[in-house]
Amino acid sequence: MNPSKRLTLYAGLLAVVAAIGAMPSAHADQWPGKQPIRLVVPYAAGGFADLRARQIAIRLGHALGANVIVDNKPGAGGVIGTDFVAKAAPDGNTIGMGNLAPLAVNPTLMKTVPYNVAKSLQPVVLIEKAPLFLTTQPDSGFSSVADVIAKARANPGKLTFASSGVGGAHHLSGEMFNMLAGIQLTHVPYKGGAPATTDLLAGHLPLMFEMGYSALPNLRSGKLKALAVSSNKRLAVAPDVMTMQEAGVKNFVSYNWQGLVVPAGTPAAIVSRLNKEVNAILAAPDVKKSIEDTGAEVGGGSPEDFAKLIQQETVTWANVIKAAKIEPQ
């Protein structure tokens, strides 16, 4: 090949490489296009993650001028849906709800997960943090957290607490209680929060850490009573319920949280736009009220803030799992 042809070929290759390198930026400039945006929820319809996702999706669609469709992909403690997001094309057309269990618990609780949280996913923004109420029946004989601790110490392993399943916030809050109070409550897992609450109401077991959206109606009707709440300060919707720390369990703070994540490699411009729009949605008075009415705290902040929370929570729950001697599933 003569020198002039070689130079022409080289210049052509450089042009192709430059064009490929510019593609993400060009796509980000054109995003969102006509293709619907899929918001993946790693849990079934009707639950904590799904209800908030649908509320956010409607408003996000309006803000972006796009059709945002909620796609439920439940299973394996949130792993299936989260893995789907992690392996999706990083083009802004697949986004996901990022939840406590699949992001900060399952990497420790499970022998393997098919994604690397730090490398496969990009946090966008925290949406909410939901504390849990320690609930019991009105006639259980427990009027305080101190009562529970006293009876648990006198009867190691005999007191039980319900949860929606192994590794969820309900379960791990109970194990944190065991660890920090130096007691031994026995965990009784159910296949979901509803059957656990049914047995709690029926008096088949005495205790359960339950989220506000589910607990508050039963607390207000008098069917259950709250001994404490796991937040770091009292809630406006239940000002008479003390925190676990106020009740004497030092350092007890537990939240079931969720935010928005996208596949790693999603252009920074798209991440920034999503962050901006969701922060604006969370600041809307009606959205803020709907979150706080369930006892949850409104999220918001930067992608870096959400990433830091995930890292901190991973360490916290790894320590609880280790203390509880929960074997990887």
> Is pLDDT of 1 > 80?
no
- Averaged over 170-193, what is the pLDDT? 96
Q: Give residue 142's pLDDT.
A: 98
User: 215: pLDDT confidence band, cut at 50, 70 and 90?
Assistant: very high
Tell whether domain 32-129+256-324 is in CATH 3.20.20.70.
no
Instruction: Read off the tokens for 266.
Output: 């999603």
Q: Give residue 14's pLDDT.
A: 38
> Is pLDDT of 5 > 60?
no
Q: Where in the chain is the domain with CATH 3.40.190.10?
A: 131-229
Please provide residue 293's backbone torsions phi and psi, each rounded to the nearest 5 degrees.
-65, -20
Tens digit of pLDDT for each residue in 266-298?
A: 999 999 999 999 999 999 999 999 999 999 999
Q: What is the mean pLDDT of the chain?
A: 92
Q: Give the helix ranges, DSSP H, for the chain.
A: 3-30, 48-64, 79-86, 100, 106-109, 117-120, 145-154, 169-181, 193-201, 212-221, 268-283, 285-292, 303-324
Tens digit of pLDDT for each residue in 95-128?
A: 999 999 999 999 999 999 999 999 999 999 999 9
Gap between the Cα atoms of 146 and 210, Å rounded: 19
> Is pLDDT of 9 > 90?
no
- Averaged over 142-155, what is the pLDDT? 98
Q: Where in the chain is the domain with CATH 3.40.190.150?
A: 32-129+256-324
* CA dist 81 → 57, 184, 193, 309 (Å): 17, 34, 20, 21
The domain at 131-229 falls in which architecture? 3-Layer(aba) Sandwich (3.40)
Tell me the pairing of strands 94-99 and 160-163: unpaired
Nearest Cα to Cα of residue 101 among 310, 294, 275, 253: 310
User: 193: pLDDT confidence band, cut at 50, 70 and 90?
Assistant: confident
Helix (H, G, I), strand (E, B) or coil at 191: coil
